[in-house]
Amino acid sequence: MISYDLVIKNGVLVTAGDIIQADLAIQGERIAAIGQDLPGKERLDARGKLVIPGAVDPHVHLQMPAGPTTSSDDWRTGTAAAAFGGVTTVIDFVEPEAGQSLLDACAARRAEAAGRAVIDYGLHMTLPAGHVPTALAEIPAVVQAGLTSFKTYTTYEGFRLDDEQLLAAMTAVAAAGGLVITHCENDTIIRRGQADLLAAGQTGPAAHPLSRPAAAEGEAIERVLALAGIAAAPVYIVHVSTARGAAALARARDRGQQAFGETCPQYLFLTDDEYKRDGFEGAKFTCQPPLRKPADQAALWQALAAGDLQVVSTDHCPFNFFRSKRSWAATTSPAFLAASPASKRACR
């Protein structure tokens, strides 16, 4: 009888179809058998534990350039941390620089990850403003190269696409059989909110959620879904944080659109109360979109349970509090709000 490389014994296996007490045998890097009393050269006792498939985190930003800094996890530390949490695949992003072809940017990003990622990884291709429409002709070649999902933004200078650009990008991605991914926040609402708050002297972390209200996300998700419908493009909305956004997705799906959405642990477990902490402590909780109200949180849980949201990702995009977040504030005046305006590339 064959002896497998590794047998995980006595655990409760959770598969797509069953939850059963059984041994799991691994040969090489693949599951070779599920059964009772399987022989293994190496044996691991999982008594009292669940044995689950590796998780896929489809939204991370490892060593991502952001203004004067980069996100603080690189391909090595970020994927090692993922592995310790049971995540066996991450999907990160390619962000082409001005004038750089999509394929060249892809090759450069792959070179950064090569030999450093300790788990499987994939890449989404970003379509920045300067590349639309000029680089859209490259999309079929990018799909051919294995990147089938294309990230678009409705905010951040340099990334933000207007409606005409969004429609053009969506049409090109759909024609190539790809998936449109969109960060949805209304840039005008955010810039107006920031200007008003700055004028009122509200410049600390507590102003962050006020400057990016739920309506900014709601409007952008509703608009992007309408545009995707016109372009007949499948669309995936990242980091949905509001009841209004989740409801818009449910309506689009009811209309028959191929529309999908993710939310993230920060929106499921934290609220905007965190921004009211003393001093600059609230800055530790800045993310975009910001943390929301308890009612939004409840709606997100309900949307996941109902299947109106399909994915929980992390949007893992870490910045060191002392080296990055504080220094941004220190070098920018007035303090915090101006350090994360709609026009700057920050945690996203």
**Cα distance between residue 311 and residue 304, in whole Å:** 8
Residues 6+ apart with CB under 8 A from 189: 213, 215, 216, 219
Choose, by CB under 5 A, the member of 315, 329, 336, 341 that binds Zn ion.
315
Look at the block and give the residue holding tokens 């070649």.
141
Q: Which stretch binds Zn ion (CB under 5 A): 10-18, 122-130, 279-287, 314-322?
A: 314-322
Size of residue set near Zn ion by CB under 5 A: 2
CB 92 to Zn ion: min, Å: 10
Sole window of 141-149, 160-168, 287-295, 310-318 interacting with Zn ion (rule: CB under 5 A): 310-318
Residue with the CB atom nearest Zn ion in the bound state: 315
Q: Which stretch binds Zn ion (CB under 5 A): 38-46, 65-73, 185-193, 312-320?
A: 312-320
**Residue 303: exposure state from Cβ atoms within 10 A (0-12, 13-18, ≥19):** buried
Query: What is the arrangement of strands in the sheet containing 50-51, beginning at the earlier edge strand?
Result: 19-21, 12-14, 50-51
Q: Mask 218-247, x = binds Zn ion (CB under 5 A)?
A: ------------------------------
Q: How far is the CB of 17 from Zn ion (least distance, A)?
A: 32
Nearest residue (CB) to Zn ion, 192 versus 345: 345
Q: Which is nearer to Zn ion, 222 or 315 (CB)?
A: 315
Q: How far apart are CA 183 and CA 154, in angstroms?
A: 6
Rounded Cα–Cα distance for residues 262 and 73 (Å) = 22
Q: Interface residues for Zn ion in 286-305 (CB under 5 A)?
A: none
Residue 57 touches Zn ion, criterion: CB under 5 A: no
We find the least distance from the C-beta atom of residue 112 to Zn ion, in angstroms, to be: 17
Q: Which is nearer to Zn ion, 9 or 59 (CB)?
A: 59
Closest approach of Zn ion to the CB of residue 68, in Å: 19
Q: Give the H or E element holding residue 230.
A: helix 214-231
Stretch that binds Zn ion, among 6-14, 212-220, 251-259, 340-348 (CB under 5 A): 340-348
Please report how close the Cβ of residue 266 comes to Zn ion at its closest, in angstroms: 11
Decide: is 316 part of the binding site for Zn ion (CB under 5 A): no
Residue partners of 169: CB distance under 8 A and separation at least 6? 127, 132, 133, 136, 150, 152, 161, 180
The nearest distance, CB 4 to Zn ion, in angstroms, is 39
Residue by residue, DSSP assigns 66-79 as: ETTEE-S--HHHHH
The answer to the question of residue 348 lying near Zn ion (CB under 5 A) is yes
Min dist CB 247 to Zn ion, Å, is: 22
User: Which region, judged by CB under 5 A, interacts with Zn ion, from 19-27, 79-87, 207-215, 307-315?
Assistant: 307-315
Q: Could you give the 3-state DSSP secondary structure of residue 41? A: strand
Identify the H or E element spanning 121: strand 120-126
Q: How far is the CB of 14 from Zn ion (least distance, A)?
A: 28
Task: In the chain, count H helices and then E strands.
Answer: 11, 17
Residue 251 or 345 having the CB closest to Zn ion: 345
Tell me, residue by residue from 16 to 35, as one string, x for binding to Zn ion by CB under 5 A and - for no binding.
--------------------
Which residues, at least 6 apart from 117, have a Cβ–Cβ distance to it below 8 Å? 75, 76, 79, 90
**Tokens 């509090």 found at:** 321
Where b means 16+ CB within 10 Å and e means fewer, 308-321 reads bbebbbbbbbbbee
| Interface ranges with Zn ion (CB under 5 A) | 315, 348
